[in-house]
Amino acid sequence: MSSFFPVSLENLIDKLASLPGIGQKSAQRLAFYILSLDEASANAFADAIVQAKKSVSTCAVCQNLTDKEICPICSDPRRDEKTICVVSDPKDVIAIERGREYTGLYHVLHGVISPMNHVSPDDLKIKELVARVAEGEIEEVIMATNPDTEGETTARYISRLLKPFGTKVTRLAYGIPVGSNLEFADDATLMRALEGRREF
Amino acid sequence: MSSFFPVSLENLIDKLASLPGIGQKSAQRLAFYILSLDEASANAFADAIVQAKKSVSTCAVCQNLTDKEICPICSDPRRDEKTICVVSDPKDVIAIERGREYTGLYHVLHGVISPMNHVSPDDLKIKELVARVAEGEIEEVIMATNPDTEGETTARYISRLLKPFGTKVTRLAYGIPVGSNLEFADDATLMRALEGRREF
């Protein structure tokens, strides 16, 4: 279709179009933008990809992305080492850290169990979580996967796995988002908020 | 905000977020995707940027993107050298070539005159077009900028510039798109279609 472009431009467009959520038209637009950069900026862009891929790996303890052997959270002596918050993605760690309230450690699964997408428990960092809990020092594991079907399934699966160790396993509370309007809450959330009601 | 990511990952996210139409969230998603590639694929991606930037330049004649001194269209002896079709972007050349009907040459302006976006005639490849017409061999210049205000303004500006050379300057016909439905045509298009009506 766009075979009138030079080969190297075609190749760049193909690479960009292989990114998730980027179609052929967007890829063209991005490629033209990159060509419009001066050479130093274009090279810096390319270098950012190489450097990120080269230096970023996963923390040996919590599996979060890091450029060190052990990530800054796991190696921070002020964190509560007896609590692990289990999340599906690195960006969830950032969401929770933004609240500045949680002081425990994390465990990043890198996905959720999803038969539809061919993701089985073995594809996730579940073994590593079990190993951490098996050491016997963990008092509470907080499941903080997303409140959707796959997140729920993953949380239930893991909580069953951890049962034999006698560690307390909890789940984030469901309810009405702070600052939102009852009128706009969906039925499932409203039901969960009712179920989880507390005394003043 | 996302200062819990390793520096090199932050840097990659920043670079991706600097692309047009890519926000902070999409940039994160793309960066995670790139990190999920194996090292060879990530390096190939980076290399595609470097190679495209290094090898792609503009044709010395028509200003279209090419990896040669003179692009394949300008150097094709079967093309009609007396006709130039003026477009704003390289992708417009591809759109017209797809029709397989036009056999003349092109001239790519690389934009349109747009005071709002601080694009003046000097920022476009207009001088180069005038120089081609001034050589005296061109019989017709077809203005094929987009049928919007900026495209129109640019076409009018250029046609005035070319007037002294006595070359015929034409404009793409306006009208109802082939295969479309009158019902859905906007008023301006309908008016233009009426104005441009022809005898059977």
What CATH number should be reported for the domain whose range is B7-55?
1.10.8.420
Considering only CB atoms, which chain A residues are within 8 Å of B15?
44-45, 48
Q: Would the CB atoms of B43 and A56 count as touching at under 8 Å? A: no
- The confidence band for B200, taking pLDDT boundaries of 50, 70 and 90, is low
pLDDT of residue B148: 85
Instruction: Please determine, for residue B2, whether its predicted confidence score (pLDDT) is greater than 90.
Output: no
Residue of A5, A14, A19 with shortest CB distance to B65: A5
pLDDT of residue A50: 95
Q: Would the CB atoms of A30 and B20 count as touching at under 8 Å? A: yes
pLDDT of residue A199: 65
Question: Residues B118-137: what's their mean pLDDT?
Answer: 95
Considering only CB atoms, which chain A residues are within 8 Å of B99?
none
Query: Running DSSP on this structure, what letter comes out for residue B87?
Result: E
Question: Residues A4-28: what's their mean pLDDT?
Answer: 93
Structurally, at CATH architecture level, domain A65-199 sits in: 3-Layer(aba) Sandwich (3.40)
pLDDT of residue A173: 82
Instruction: Please determine, for residue A1, whether its predicted confidence score (pLDDT) is greater than 70.
Output: no
Instruction: Please determine, for residue A82, whether its predicted confidence score (pLDDT) is greater than 90.
Output: yes
- Distance (Å) of CA A54 to CA A49, B9, B39, B80: 8, 10, 8, 52
B193/B81: higher pLDDT: B81
A31/A178: higher pLDDT: A31
Residues 68-127 of A with CB under 8 A from B: 68, 72-73, 89-91, 93-94, 97-98
Q: The complex's ipTM?
A: 0.76
Tally of residues, chain B: 200
Tokens of A182: 């009852």
pLDDT of residue A179: 74
User: Percent of chain B beyond pLDDT 90?
Assistant: 70
Instruction: Please determine, for residue B107, whether its predicted confidence score (pLDDT) is greater than 70.
Output: yes
The CA-based diameter of chain B, rounded to the nearest angstrom, is 70
Q: Would the CB atoms of A53 and B39 count as touching at under 8 Å? A: yes
Average pLDDT, rounded, for chain A? 90
A166-172, Cβ contacts within 8 angstroms, sequence gap of 24 or more: A167/A133, A167/A138, A167/A139, A167/A140, A167/A141, A168/A139, A168/A140, A168/A141, A169/A140, A169/A141, A169/A142, A169/A143, A170/A140, A170/A141, A170/A142, A170/A143, A171/A142, A171/A143, A172/A142, A172/A143, A172/A144, A172/A147
pLDDT of residue A200: 65
Distance from CA of A32 to the nearest CA of B (A): 9
Q: Does A161 touch chain B (CB under 8 A)?
A: no
User: Percent of chain A beyond pLDDT 70?
Assistant: 97
Question: Residues B161-166: what's their mean pLDDT?
Answer: 92
Tokens of A82: 């007896």
The residues that bridge with B171 in the sheet, in sequence order, are B143
Residue boundaries of the structural domains of chain A: 7-55, 65-199
